[in-house]
Structure 1
């Protein structure tokens, strides 16, 4: 049995999977809201671990995989770069082990996502892949051959805090980002960033889902908003292709469900890729909302802690 937790900006998802089944069959799943402070988050995560192990009849020292925003420093274990800022500077893996007794492995949520998709999802069979999460934030993970590539300091794939490339006159100097920089891709491509732009153009305070519904119904402002979003997404991903030249980009997170966003982006991206012809595939994820939590569970695949 493998147990994973996906700690998101708005929800925490916990799941147990049958490690013996080729398709990693889901045995148990639960979702709760994400608190807005560290101590409450630690408490809720502890409760979810207990619930999973009770339901699946697992021992008190069963290992747990956790995907979270940001990434742990490989030397100190302290989380950095999380848009859920109360996680920054905390050693979540160590604190959870102390609180629950369970060994914990922690990895960036986008890295967990591409781990799942490379195993048996939309990136399976490709030699290189970039996994993208566009939701509350904007993250990425790099898969090369048969392994995740975290980079020298664990931040490989953090494309959301590069500046929006090839900006137009109405995109500079751009919005301020929570990270302290200006015009970050996350400020445009995250859910809050997209809605901010939509409302600045005169749209009401809708959800992303309602915006997409109105666009499909033919509303002009909403269609224009989706067109501009796809254009910015294509520019941001073209920048990554010019650096990494991966074979496939897999889209995940809530905004990956926007109407035909993968197809739109793939059609546009060649304008900015530094090649005579762009061959990159841009595809929707295979495992849906469960891909991140699957990848977190896979952090302990084929081994037990010593």
Structure 2
């Protein structure tokens, strides 16, 4: 009961650490930019350094655990990271290297699992039986929470919605398939599609802003994004029939997802009347770090 919990959320643009006291109170919290170039050795050193810094704030004599959310998953057989949006992690023994660095056990889980766990424990997913948590940012992922427990699955990929191929003729994905959900509705996917279609490099933020002014190329790209969101999530709702969907990641702040986007989900879902609420997260972009703290061992 007196255990402290360190959680680290490893993202493509930022890395955040938190230390929770025995009652869940925040004893330490720090966020830093991800290392430039995001090389593997830099990731290990940075994550290990943050964990040590947090451990230095643990009250004397108190036991502590470490949990880390990553943009990928760990193969249960080989122990190597796979399917990581931060591609420098792919094929690397991240858990083993961090345990060696820290001299203690470390738990690793997919960042979407951590996000979903946090939102179901203290966010928008509270009170729902089956929740599908979505991360839409640089990449796109998902997690499944059933009656308060996040489902990982025997392959540790339950809810890995971002790499469902929805368009065999679509853009190539780093996972080796084409037309994955991530290529359609992540920020990086929309940006690459705009560059390929128009020969101009714009950020997702710029595309959305210009679309709202009526700029025709951006308006078209934004409408395709909303339609792809509806198609991808509508199919998921038809299969899983969740009690609620919670959206997270930077793109979850796009207001049109909760109006036009929901209408598009309704269009593509196999239901006469869509009753599944599609909710904005309540914990912001720090949900994952709290979830990571709770998976520690």
> TM-score, normalised to structure 1's length?
0.88
- Where in structure 1 are there 5+ consecutive unaligned residues? none
- Assess if the C-alpha contact under 8 Å between 1:266 and 1:281 holds in 2: no
What is the alpha-carbon distance in structure 2 between the residues aligned to residue 206 and residue 26 of structure 1? 40
Shift of 1:25: 4.0
Kindly indicate whether residue 156 of structure 2 is the aligned counterpart of residue 154 of structure 1: yes
- Where in structure 2 are there 5+ consecutive unaligned residues? none
Look up the match of 2:292: 296
Look up the match of 1:240: 236
- Assess if the C-alpha contact under 8 Å between 2:28 and 2:57 holds in 1: no
What is the alpha-carbon distance in structure 2 between the residues aligned to residue 290 and residue 58 of structure 1? 27
Alpha-carbon spacing, 1:260–1:72, altered in 2? closer, same or farther (3 Å): same
Look up the match of 1:16: 19
- Of 135, 138, 163 in structure 1, the residue corresponding to residue 137 of structure 2 is 135
What is the alpha-carbon distance in structure 2 between the residues aligned to residue 229 and residue 74 of structure 1? 34
CA deviations 1:121-154 (Å, max 9, x no partner) are 0111111111111112111101111211112321
Look up the match of 2:31: 30
Shift of 1:63: 1.5
- Between stretches 286-295 and 100-109, larger displacement belongs to 100-109
What is the alpha-carbon distance in structure 2 between the residues aligned to residue 228 and residue 265 of structure 1? 11
Look up the match of 1:102: 104
> TM-score, normalised to structure 2's length?
0.90
Give the secondary-structure state (helix, strand or coil) at the position aligned to 2:18: strand
Give the secondary-structure state (helix, strand or coil) at the position aligned to 1:279: coil
What is the alpha-carbon distance in structure 2 between the residues aligned to residue 197 and residue 79 of structure 1? 27
What is the alpha-carbon distance in structure 1 between the residues aligned to residue 177 and residue 73 of structure 2? 18
Kindly indicate whether residue 162 of structure 2 is the aligned counterpart of residue 197 of structure 1: no
The number of residues matched between the two structures is 293
Question: What pairs with 1:255-274 in structure 2 (closer than 5 Å)?
Answer: 255-274=251-270
Question: What pairs with 1:65-84 in structure 2 (closer than 5 Å)?
Answer: 65-84=67-86
- Assess if the C-alpha contact under 8 Å between 2:117 and 2:148 holds in 1: no
What is the alpha-carbon distance in structure 1 between the residues aligned to residue 192 and residue 176 of structure 2? 18
- Assess if the C-alpha contact under 8 Å between 1:16 and 1:29 holds in 2: no
Alpha-carbon spacing, 1:58–1:116, altered in 2? closer, same or farther (3 Å): farther
CA RMSD in angstroms comes to 2.2
Shift of 1:19: 4.1
Shift of 1:116: 0.3
- Assess if the C-alpha contact under 8 Å between 1:133 and 1:251 holds in 2: yes
- Assess if the C-alpha contact under 8 Å between 1:3 and 1:16 holds in 2: yes
CA deviations 1:180-201 (Å, max 9, x no partner) are 1111111111211111222344
- Between stretches 75-84 and 211-220, larger displacement belongs to 211-220
CA deviations 1:153-177 (Å, max 9, x no partner) are 211111111122xx6xxxx611111
- Assess if the C-alpha contact under 8 Å between 1:9 and 1:136 holds in 2: yes
Alpha-carbon spacing, 1:227–1:44, altered in 2? closer, same or farther (3 Å): same
Shift of 1:82: 1.1
